[in-house]
């Protein structure tokens, strides 16, 4: 609904390009901490302490992690705010001066999210570890309602900046969710074992580096798109986000439910033993996502026109959206498996292997994108992502058999 309303109100223009550029820049920063890093480092440590009944140590770990993540995220938010103009100029060199100014202002407004989003993600991890799903599920709904509300009410007066203000205000309740995690009864803070802190810091560093390689390619893609005509970057954002909805809904839910089980199995046997949870989870993911992927790709033209007919998008933007939507829809099975396989690697403490593979394929993704845009123009961006997704997924599956042989 959010993407539909944004597309209908603004279409695909230079102003929306500037907004998506700013939001991508902020996302790059907060995903350094939330893009699997917290789930892969904090959640296993927190869950192990709780499973042993050491609730006090688990609470102390939560407080320590909150201070660490909040301090780091806050520092990055300040850097984004102060360096907004040069960052937009460097990352999106194809923008003219007006779009650079629009993007810089949007980046300054959005910069606090770099600190708020990681803390909100930490709160989600805590609730999921406690098998409490309502609050973390309600927060994204609330955020989107606020964004849509701001867009409807302030669109006429603020234009595209109504989006940035909506996102900023929409993320504020995540701090209340974090505060709620500290309200658990019967907990008495207890000293954290230094080895737990060291292990978590090591995992957080490795997975943060992993997020850099993963998100850097996204920034490079949008940087290359800024050289093309205004609106193409926005078209790419709409298409990739709409095609990614099944990933968010289906694979996001599967990941939340399965990851604690991966951790529990790995904790009893480092090689996952004789457990079928790994391959059952892969089969379940493919069983659901492949039919959805094919349906979306086959009916892409109908879906796009049903959603955006009568909007501010012109015919050329609709055609571009078709190409992006189809390509990303066909890439969904590989992207879904990448998410599930990454969680399996994290739970098995194969972070170093995941980092090496991801770094190599992050570089390959950037190279493929650059070459494809040289040969095919803007269409090279989604095509390069399609090729990268299946290559990356294949290598992750092959390496998986090294520590969990197929039966």
pLDDT of residue 105: 93
Give the pair of three-digit tokens for residue 258. 């399965």
Give the whole-angstrom CA distance, residue 272 versus residue 285.
Answer: 19
Contact criterion met (CB below 8 Å) for 399 and 357 = yes
Give the chain's length. Answer: 407
pLDDT in tens, the chain (407 residues): 777 777 777 888 888 899 889 988 888 877 776 655 666 677 777 877 777 777 778 888 888 888 888 888 899 899 999 999 999 999 999 999 999 999 999 999 999 998 898 888 888 878 877 777 788 888 888 888 888 888 888 776 777 788 888 888 888 888 888 888 877 665 566 677 777 777 777 777 776 777 777 778 888 888 899 898 888 888 888 888 888 888 878 777 777 777 777 777 766 665 555 567 788 888 888 998 999 999 999 999 898 888 887 667 778 888 889 999 999 999 999 999 998 888 888 777 787 888 889 889 988 999 999 999 999 999 999 999 999 999 999 999 999 888 776 66
pLDDT of residue 406: 61
Beta strands in 294-351 (DSSP E): none
Give the pair of three-digit tokens for residue 180. 């709620």
Give the pair of three-digit tokens for residue 186. 């019967």
Q: Which DSSP string corresponds to 121-139? A: HHHHHHHHHTT--HHHHHH
Contact criterion met (CB below 8 Å) for 44 and 350 = no
Each domain of the chain, given as residue ranges in start order, spans: 1-214, 231-407
Give the global pTM: 0.79
Give the whole-angstrom CA distance, residue 386 versus residue 383.
Answer: 5
Contact criterion met (CB below 8 Å) for 135 and 180 = yes
Give the pair of three-digit tokens for residue 93. 């060199």
HEC sequence for 38-93: HHHHHHHHHHHHHHCCCHHHHHHHHHHHHHHHHHHHHHHHHHHHHCHHHHHHHHCC
Cα 199 from chain centroid?
24
């Amino acid at each position: 609904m959010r993407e539909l309303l944004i597309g209908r109100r603004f279409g695909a223009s230079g102003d929306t390009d500037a907004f998506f550029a700013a939001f991508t820049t902020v996302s790059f920063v907060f995903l350094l901490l939330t893009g699997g890093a917290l789930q892969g480092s904090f959640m296993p440590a927190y869950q192990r302490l709780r499973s042993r009944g050491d609730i006090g140590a688990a609470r102390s770990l939560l407080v320590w992690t909150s201070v660490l993540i909040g301090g780091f995220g806050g520092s990055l938010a300040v850097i984004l705010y102060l360096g907004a103009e040069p960052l937009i100029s460097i990352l999106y060199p194809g923008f003219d001066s007006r779009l650079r100014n629009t993007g810089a202002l949007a980046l300054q407004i959005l910069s606090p999210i770099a600190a708020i989003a990681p803390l909100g993600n930490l709160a989600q991890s805590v609730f999921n570890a406690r098998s409490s799903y309502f609050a973390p599920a309600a927060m994204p709904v609330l955020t989107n309602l606020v964004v849509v509300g701001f867009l409807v009410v302030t669109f006429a007066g603020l234009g595209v900046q109504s989006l940035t203000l909506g996102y900023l205000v929409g993320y504020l309740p995540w701090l209340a969710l974090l505060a709620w995690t500290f309200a658990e009864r019967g907990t008495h803070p207890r000293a954290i074992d230094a080895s737990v802190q060291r292990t978590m810091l090591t995992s957080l560093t490795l997975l943060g580096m992993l997020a850099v390689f993963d998100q850097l390619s996204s920034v490079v893609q949008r940087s290359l798109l800024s050289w093309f005509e205004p609106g193409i970057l926005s078209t790419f954002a709409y298409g990739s986000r709409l095609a990614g909805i099944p990933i968010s809904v289906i694979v996001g839910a599967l990941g939340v439910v399965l990851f604690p089980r991966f951790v529990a199995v790995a904790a009893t046997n480092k090689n996952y033993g004789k457990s079928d949870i790994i391959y059952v989870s892969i089969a379940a993911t493919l069983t659901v996502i492949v039919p959805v992927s094919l349906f979306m790709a086959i009916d892409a033209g109908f879906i796009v026109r049903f959603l955006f007919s009568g909007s501010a998008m012109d015919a050329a933007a609709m055609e571009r959206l078709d190409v992006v939507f189809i390509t990303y829809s066909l890439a969904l099975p590989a992207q879904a498996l990448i998410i599930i396989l990454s969680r399996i690697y994290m739970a098995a403490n194969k972070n170093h292997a995941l980092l090496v593979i991801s770094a190599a394929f992050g570089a390959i993704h950037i190279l493929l994108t650059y070459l494809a845009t040289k040969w095919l123009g803007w269409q090279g961006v989604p095509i390069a992502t399609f090729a990268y997704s299946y290559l990356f997924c294949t290598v992750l599956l092959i390496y998986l058999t090294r520590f969990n042989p197929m039966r």
